[in-house]
Every structure is written in C-alpha cells, then in structure tokens.
Structure 1
Amino acid sequence: MEKLIKETEETLLALENVFSKFDGHLVNKVPFEGSWTAGQLAEHLILSNGGFLQVINGTVTETDKPADLMVSQIKSDFLNFNVKYNSPKEIYPENKAYNQPELLENLKQIRAGISNAATGLDLTKTCVSYELPGYGYLTRLEAIYFVIYHTQRHVHQLKNIYSGLNPN
C-alpha cells in the first residue's frame, strides 16, 4: 500500500512540476503538428483523472477477481510509447486558451483526492459507475493504477511538448 501511495504522489506531482515549467504564453502554443498544447494536455488529465476520482468514490460492489488483475495490462498499454491512442470525446480537451494557474489548482485538488482515496478506501472493491472500454469494471486499486500509468504517459508527452517549444 505504501508503494501505491508513493507512486501516486510522485506521478501526480511530476505532472504538476513539468506543467508548471511552461511560461504562461507557451501553455497554449502548439509545439508541433498533430500535438495538443500543454494546456489541452493538462485539461485532458483533469477530465480523465477527475472522472476516475468520481468513479473511485462512487458506487462499488464486492470483487470476484484479484483486485490487481488488470494492473499489468494497463501498465503495458499506457507505457508503450510506440502506440498512439485517440482520446474518447468525453475527455477530449477543447481547443481554447487555458489558464495555467487554474489548471494547476485543479491538478492539485485531484492529486489530494486520489491520495485520500488510496489511503482511506477499501481498494479491493469494484467500481460499477463506469465500465472502461477494453478493461471492464475496475477495482479501486486498478483505477488508481490507471490514473498513475495514464498520467505517466502524458508526463512523457508533456516533456516532449516542452522540448518542442524550448529547443535549447
């Protein structure tokens, strides 16, 4: 459990730290063709991770499988940087100007919520308010690992966006 809490905190803090390196005007600048802006990427993670926080805190049932059954598959899928995924429309960020301090505050609130869930809830329960395409209903443990690996994937992309905007 300590490993999960530490990995959650480190991953979500890494996102905030990388995102905070962007100068205000660069947050909404497209670094290269086909890329989101840093602001769009942060908004995508707010929508996704915030949604998962609601799922984790939502309706649950008893679990009839190992609580970590899907963790290795989620890790394998999301940390394979050679595969490009299309975002579901529900968590696809708008093409607009984003406010960096506001996004950072939302990211911090979500980090606190995920950390509270990881330390205070029974992570073996199955979340039934949302069925994740390709994975099914996740346990709270699997949902937290989804947040971790999905965020790690996007931290990697955020670093690429930063490099694209700051070639030095």
Structure 2
Amino acid sequence: MNKNEIVKELKSTITEFQQLISSFDEQQLNAVPFEGSWTPAQVARHICKANSGFAEALNGPVQDTDRAPDQSVKTIERIMLDFTTKMNAPAFILPEMKAYNKERLINTLEDIKVDVSKAVTDLDLTQTCLSFELPGLGQVTRLEAVYFMIYHTQRHAHQLKNIKNKHAVN
C-alpha cells in the first residue's frame, strides 16, 4: 500500500469532479437535465454530504483489523463503478431541492480533499473504523473507506459527464 499513490488518486478524483462542476454554467448547474435526474449541483451536494464525514470517521475510533486491510476494495470498486446499476442514496446524504452556489460547492470539495489527504498521509490505514459501516460490508478499514470515497466520487463524476453530454446535445 503506497500512501502517496492513494493520495494522488484521491486528489485527482476530487479535482476532476471539481472541474466537471466548474464546467457547468450557473443555469445548467441548477437545472434538471432530464426526468428522474438530479441537477449537477445536487450531484455535487450529494458528494459533499457523503464525503464530509470521512475525515472524521478516519480520525475516529479504530481497532486492529483481523483480516487483509484491502479485502473489500475490489468489491467496493465493482459495486461503485457498475454504471448499469441504479442506486438509492440513504436519506442523510440526499441533496436538498434548492439552488446551489458553484463556488461554495467547489470550496467544500477542496476542504474535503485536504482533510482526507492529510488523514491518509498521517494515519495507519490498516485499522478498522468503528464509527463507519458500509451496507452489506459492515465495518471497513480506513483504506477501504478511502477507496469507497474515491470510487463513489468517480461514479458521480461519470453521472456528471452524462449530464454534460445531455446539455451538449440540447
């Protein structure tokens, strides 16, 4: 496990997501692109809400891990990057139905990127987080939590690209 590579992947994933959000004009940002879709701003708010607790969870209570610390990384990747499957977000990370400020979203993502990168650099990623569980997987290691965040953000970057393509066609 190379922490520098993990931080690099984390930073590049969030930076790409920020760039995608930046690519929408203010009107597109808060417009529903097609029926059943979130606005690009709502997608960003969802990622902000989902990722905002990761630094706290990574820095929270842990215990030694009695299995390979990366045991669930491939499973998380397979689930999150399967774009043929529609998922429903838990209520606590659903975006509110309102207009959002682009800069505020981008700045929140930047704060998350900095905080989680610091946690990855400073902490033992083999430890199991006690304050965070993934549905179907239970408690995960810090390493698995970071990869969940990376793959979840990549999933929604893919969603933003689809929305962007929809706007390009119209």
Q: Percent identity?
A: 48
Q: Which residue of 1 aligns with 2:113?
A: 111
Deviation track 1:112-163 (CA, whole Å, cap 9, x = no partner) reads 1111111111101110012221111111000000001000000000111112
Q: Which residue of 2 aligns with 1:99?
A: 101
Q: Which residue of 2 aligns with 1:7?
A: 9
Q: Which residue of 1 aligns with 2:62?
A: 60
Aligned residues: 168
Paired letter, 2:32: V
Aligned residue among 123, 126, 131 for 1:124? 126
SS at match of 1:128: strand
User: TM-score when scaled to structure 1?
Assistant: 0.96
Give the Cα–Cα distance (whole angstroms) in 2 for the partners of residues 155 and 131 of structure 1: 23
Q: Which residue of 2 aligns with 1:141?
A: 143
Aligned residue among 156, 160, 163 for 2:162? 160
Give the Cα–Cα distance (whole angstroms) in 1 for the partners of residues 149 and 6 of structure 2: 11
Q: Which residue of 2 aligns with 1:73?
A: 75
Aligned residue among 22, 25, 28 for 2:24? 22
SS at match of 1:130: strand
Give the Cα–Cα distance (whole angstroms) in 2 for the partners of residues 131 and 37 of structure 1: 28
SS at match of 1:124: coil
Paired letter, 2:109: L
Ranges in structure 1 where 5+ consecutive residues have no aligned partner: none
The runs of 4+ residues in structure 1 deviating greater than 6 Å are none
Deviation track 1:77-122 (CA, whole Å, cap 9, x = no partner) reads 0111000000100101111111111111000000111111111111
Aligned residue among 33, 45, 48 for 1:46? 48
Ranges in structure 2 where 5+ consecutive residues have no aligned partner: none
Give the Cα–Cα distance (whole angstroms) in 2 for the partners of residues 13 and 70 of structure 1: 25
SS at match of 1:31: coil
Paired letter, 2:23: K
RMSD: 1.0
| Between structures 1 and 2, the one with greater strand share | 2
Give the C-alpha shift of residue 165 in structure 1.
Answer: 2.0
Paired letter, 1:68: D
Give the C-alpha shift of residue 13 in structure 1.
Answer: 0.7
